[in-house]
């Protein structure tokens, strides 16, 4: 069976990084379990750093 493709809002990613066990963090973790996360990130230094933080935190 194909995994779902899910789009996650940048605000959810930021909240997930900043506040562990928050509702956005729980939603992000559940989304990772059931599907493939799709994220649209504008090419900027801040977005790149955010992506690195998410990758490190969640072993992406």
The domain in which residue 50 lies consists of 4-58
Convert the pLDDT of each residue in 12-36 to its tens digit. 888 888 888 999 999 999 999 999 9
How many domains in the chain?
1
pLDDT at 24: 94
The vertex-21 CA angle with 14 and 53, nearest 5°, equals: 35
Q: Taking all residues of the chain, what is their mean pLDDT, rounded to a whole number? A: 80
List strand residue ranges (DSSP E) for 1-60, in order: 4-7, 35-38
Q: How far apart are CA 8 and CA 5, in angstroms?
A: 10
């Amino acid at each position: 069976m194909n995994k779902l493709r899910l789009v996650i809002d940048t605000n959810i990613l930021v909240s997930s990084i900043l506040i562990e066990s928050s509702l956005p963090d729980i939603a992000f973790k559940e989304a990772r379990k059931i599907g493939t996360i799709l994220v649209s990130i504008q090419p900027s230094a801040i977005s790149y750093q955010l992506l690195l933080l998410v990758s490190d935190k969640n072993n992406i």
